[in-house]
Amino acid sequence: MSFVYMKILESRPERYDAGMELLTLGSLTQVKREIARHIPSGSSVLDLGCGTGTLAQMCAERGARVTGVDANSGMLSMAAKNSPSANFMNSSLCHLDEHFEDESFDFILSTLAFSELTRAERIHVLKQIKRLLKKGGRIFIGDEIIPDNLFAKGLYHLFRLPLRLLTWVLTQTTTHAISGFEEDVRAAGMKIISRKRYMLGTFILLEIKI
Ligand SMILES: C[S@@+](CC[C@H](N)C(=O)[O-])C[C@H]1O[C@@H](n2cnc3c(N)ncnc32)[C@H](O)[C@@H]1O
């Protein structure tokens, strides 16, 4: 997987979308389209770690009222250009409790943001999602995971190690593919309704309800 390059791309927001398209061989766009397909007109949508706002725009084009949250102001500037009708907020995902009331959204979405959080942060954000989702609402989370299958796991680590090293040299940072995420979702009292796998099982899209 080439997702460790995300951090490089995030530091250059104007190149982020083109870079991710190339690095994921179109899978990220495919995942976003798949999510947007479920969003009906008039629904309220929260996109966590919205980045440059491409998913927000797909949902806005379907007539949804979209709020995007991200902590990177460069990404948010791109988002405002890409999706002029959406609202964007500069905030850490760990501070959602300061901004939104209970049961504010019909849909809560996130692509490639959970993998940038620590496990404690992920658990905290899952609790907040549960609080913020309206009754009958849906959650879609697409992210990089460490595959369960032993062989796939070995290949994944072999491929990832040089990329992690290169990313560290260039940016002094890295990403952390999620391990055990489905257990954390269930432990938060949520139900996984469906899962789709992409990129040899290293990227997963979960549809979740409460
Ligand atoms: C890899 S990008 C994904 C962007 C977008 N969701 C997409 O799929 O193209 C991860 C985004 O999450 C944001 N992010 C990471 N940790 C965050 C945090 N703790 N609070 C808010 N945003 C965060 C980053 O700023 C970045 O824009």
- Pocket probe for ligand 1: among 31, 70, 76, the residue whose CB has the most ligand atoms within 8 Å is 70
Regarding the beta carbon of 50 and ligand 1, being less than 6 Å apart is answered yes
Q: Is 75 in the pocket of ligand 1 (CB under 6 A)?
A: yes
49-83 pLDDT, tens digit each: 999 999 999 999 999 999 999 999 999 999 999 99
Q: Is 144 in the pocket of ligand 1 (CB under 6 A)?
A: no
Provide DSSP, 24-75.
TTTHHHHHHHHHHTT--TT-EEEEET-TTSHHHHHHHHTT-EEEEEES-HHH
Are the beta carbons of 206 and 195 closer than 8 angstroms?
A: yes
**CATH code of the domain covering residue 101:** 3.40.50.150
Of 190, 203, 45, give the one whose Cα is nearest residue 114. 203
pLDDT digits (tens, 9 = 90+) for 101-158: 999 999 999 999 999 999 999 999 999 999 999 999 999 999 988 877 788 788 777 7
Query: What does the pLDDT look like over 143-156, one tens digit per residue?
Result: 988 877 788 788 77
Quote the ligand 1 centre to 158 CA distance (angstroms): 25
Number of separate domains in the chain: 1
Q: What angle is formed at CA 185 by the lines to CA 183 and CA 190, rounded to 5 degrees?
A: 125
Ligand 1 center–CA 51 separation, angstroms: 5
> The whole model's pTM is what?
0.93
* H or E element in which residue 181 lies: helix 181-187
Note down the domain range covering 90. 3-209
